[in-house]
Amino acid sequence: MEYETILKLFSLVYIIIMMTIDFWIFGLILRREYVRVKGLLIILSIVLMMGLESLALAQLNVLLFISGMLLVLIPLFISFLIKDHSINVNRNWKYGLLLSSVIVFDELAMGYLYGNYFTPLPNPLLTAINNPAYGAMMLGDAIFFLYILRRRSIMEFAITTFAISMAFMPSLYLMDRMLEFIMSILTSLFMIVNIVLLYLTEMRMLTFQGQLVAISLSLFNLLMMLGLTFFASLSNLYFLTLSMIASMVWYFFLIFYNVPAKKISPKPFLFLVLVNLTELAMGFGESVLGFNLTNSLFVNTMNCEMMIGSHMMRSPFNNPFWWLFPINPLTMITMTIMKYNLLGKLVMVPFMTIMTTTMAPFYVIMMGAEMSYLVYERFKKVKTRYLKAWTLGILTGIPIFVVLIPYYTNYYIFGMSGMIFPVTLAPFVISLVVIALFSTLFGRGVYCNLVCMSAHMWSNVFYEQFSAKKNSKFWDYLRWIFLVPLIIAFYLFVMMGLGKIKLPINPLDFYGMFTLNYIWWFFYFLTPIFGIYSCARQGWCGFGTFNGIFNKVLFKIRAKDVNTCKECVSKECDTSCPVKIPISNDILKKGYSNRISCIVCARCVDACDNVEIVNVVTILKNRESKSF
């Protein structure tokens, strides 16, 4: 057996033994409520000694090995100088940080030992992190500490999935492109689960501990996803590596230090901003990485026709993952930089960055998965049968309408198609007729709650806390102004389809992308200020207003007994409405409410037993009952 092979096998055995010792040591510390300071210092010095021994084995350096052996004498000497006493490590943040730093150093050293023999990189720090051994250690840490702590709250699962998502980071598996791609999908799945758990932690854990976990892990997720973006776009590992090291230290700190659980008010605005930035960075980084990896695996770029210079623009159909990574966002941004002057770059580069990210199927599926679970949480809370059925309709609409129709057919669903298949006049007219028909039969909600991704991101248990307190008649008039550019875009598109005019850009795609990527994100990030369903309240969604016109045909919100409304003091139908329609006032004036801005969320029905929805179904049922 060759000498190098012997060293590799020995390093693997050494790492397994050292990890086992680490688990035993730190498990022993966590199981004890109190530990002696002198004993703790000796244990920590042993762990540091093992780390230095790992570095010595990696470099075959005898001096490092001797230094490691001598290191254990330092705490012995210190123990003679200090007065021994008992401490609770879980309640002392200084010792919690010390333990976290020591275990991270030890695992970095073991990662370097593996990487130096199996996957060496130019920089020792990169070598220590970006290898499968690090992933195995983080996965082992996550499972072991979850078992040791024996706490099974949402917060603990959030911390655990945070660590597991790092274990599958694609930068750890650079030795094989297929393995790198598989791991990128796995880390995305665990990151999505982690984000959902952080949403629930932020909502339910109204303590300093819960809010710190939700906000801090969102911040570290953001840093790692920015690192992934640099890695995918520039093949730069430094930012991702440093962010993972910082995340490691923080993960172990949350394990070893029991953050005080005193009651505090939630911090949803800060959490919302961090999570949304994380999702954008993740959508961009994973879309670029997935595009590059899948096309390098399945497509011969030498013979590819979808090339602009040295850059591939679209995934050809012989790439089995073209539907998930159809366009490279980085290529689109590069083309924009080359095309425009400085002023044009300042305007178009941010637009193209957000547009290519939020229109990417990966991003839409990721957001759909997160919002679906939050909608499901809402489903468990609602009371009325009607709203339960409507919420189930939203859950069905997310995968069918948001993912399938916009991207894989040329049927136009406002602002979401045209990215892969060009929208032609006939499918466009058919889609308008279908949406108008169903809005007539069931109300505007068939678009705003079943089809539109924007509404999905507000129709869930987390965002309900941001419902607006009041409305202004100012927006009732301004919405008609917002409808004008939509009508112009419709008209220009029809003229293009009939061959009457030629334009360099599809007016519908431009209008949809501008609305969803500039206006929408402005209001979405500021949801705590503007409230949910700003698209309907402020009326900036012209397509929603267009659909709302058909609310006037059959759809109504009416009272079962108007006299009950006259005597009502609480006005729960008004307070529950996220659009802040004065429902009670409308009912008292004309017996029903059917405003254009109503998005048929049915919250008023859930809040008041005296309110009911009237649409084609209830009309037909009433006619059938009268016929017998």
Mean pLDDT of the region 572-583:
89
Is residue 443 located within the same domain as residue 536?
yes
The Cα 195–Cα 331 span in angstroms is 28
Lowest mean pLDDT among 57-71, 227-241, 357-371: 57-71
Collapsed DSSP state (helix, strand, coil) of residue 233: helix
Please choose, from the candidates 534, 511, 510, 512, the residue with its C-alpha nearest in 3D space to the C-alpha of residue 522: 534
What's the average model confidence in pLDDT over 247-270? Answer: 89
φ, ψ (nearest 5 deg) of residue 42: -65, -40
Question: Tokens 């220009």 appear where?
Answer: 492
C-alpha dist (Å) from residue 607 to 78, 230, 379: 66, 48, 14
The answer to whether residues 258 and 208 touch, using CB atoms and an 8 Å cutoff, is no
One domain for residues 190 and 85? no
At 244 the pLDDT is 95
Same domain, 613 and 515: no
Q: Which residue, chain included where needed, has tokens 């012989």?
A: 318
Q: Is the same domain home to 519 and 427?
A: yes
CA distance 547 to 132: 53
Q: What is the mean pLDDT of residues 279-299?
A: 92
Contacts of 27 (CB under 8 A, 6+ apart): 144, 148
The span from the CA of 623 to the CA of 617, in Å, is 10
Residue-level pLDDT at 538? 85
Same domain, 556 and 545: no
Query: In the prediction, which pLDDT does 71 show?
Result: 65
Q: Please state, in angstroms and rounded to a whole number, the distance separating the CA atoms of residues 278 and 593.
A: 40
One domain for residues 571 and 544? no
**DSSP structural state of residue 171:** G
Residues 309 and 438 in one domain: no
Distance of CA 233 to the CA centre of its chain: 20
Residues 491 and 555 in one domain: no
Largest CA distance in the chain: 98
Q: Residue 140 domain-assigned?
A: no
One domain, residues 502 and 417: yes
For residue 612, pLDDT over 80 is answered with yes
Where among 549, 569, 593 does a domain terminate? Answer: 549
Q: Is residue 199 part of a domain?
A: yes
Say if residue 256's pLDDT is above 80.
yes
Average pLDDT in the 155-177 region?
93
Name the domain boundary from 270, 298, 320: 320
Q: Name the residue range of residue 558's domain.
A: 551-625
Residue 438 lies in a domain: yes
Q: Is 455 helix (H, G, I), strand (E, B) or coil?
A: helix
- Residue 488 counted as domain residue: yes
List alpha helices for 468-561, DSSP H: 473-497, 507-514, 520-525, 527-530, 534-537, 542-548
96-145 pLDDT tens trace:
888 899 899 999 999 999 988 888 888 888 999 999 999 999 999 999 88
Number of domains in the chain: 4
Sequence-ordered strand ranges (E) for 32-109: 35-36, 86-87
Residue 128 lies in a domain: no
**Are 168 and 237 members of one domain?**
yes
- How confident is the model over 390-411, as a mean pLDDT? 69
Judged by DSSP in three states, 314 sits in: strand
> Among candidates 135, 341, 130, 352, which has minimal Cα distance to 228?
130
Average pLDDT over residues 532-546: 87
Say what the pLDDT of residue 228 is. Answer: 95
Q: Name the DSSP class of 283.
A: H
Residue 390 lies in a domain: no
Quote the pLDDT of residue 526: 84
Residue 315 lies in a domain: yes
Rg (CA), the chain: 29
DSSP assignment of 7-36 equals HHHHHHHHHHHHHHHHHHHHHHHHH-S-EE
Among residues 549, 575, 603, the one where a domain terminates is 549
Give the pLDDT band of residue 627 (cuts 50, 70, 90).
very low
Residues 407 and 293 in one domain: no
Do 433 and 538 have their domain in common?
yes
Using DSSP bridges, classify how beta strands 311-312 and 592-593 pair: parallel, antiparallel or unpaired: unpaired
Q: Would you say the pTM of this structure is higher than 0.75?
A: yes
> What was the pLDDT predicted at 465?
84
DSSP class of residue 499 equals: T
247 domain residue, yes or no? yes
Q: Computed from CA positions of residues 468, 474, 477, 481, in that sequence, does the dihedral angle turn out positive or negative? A: negative
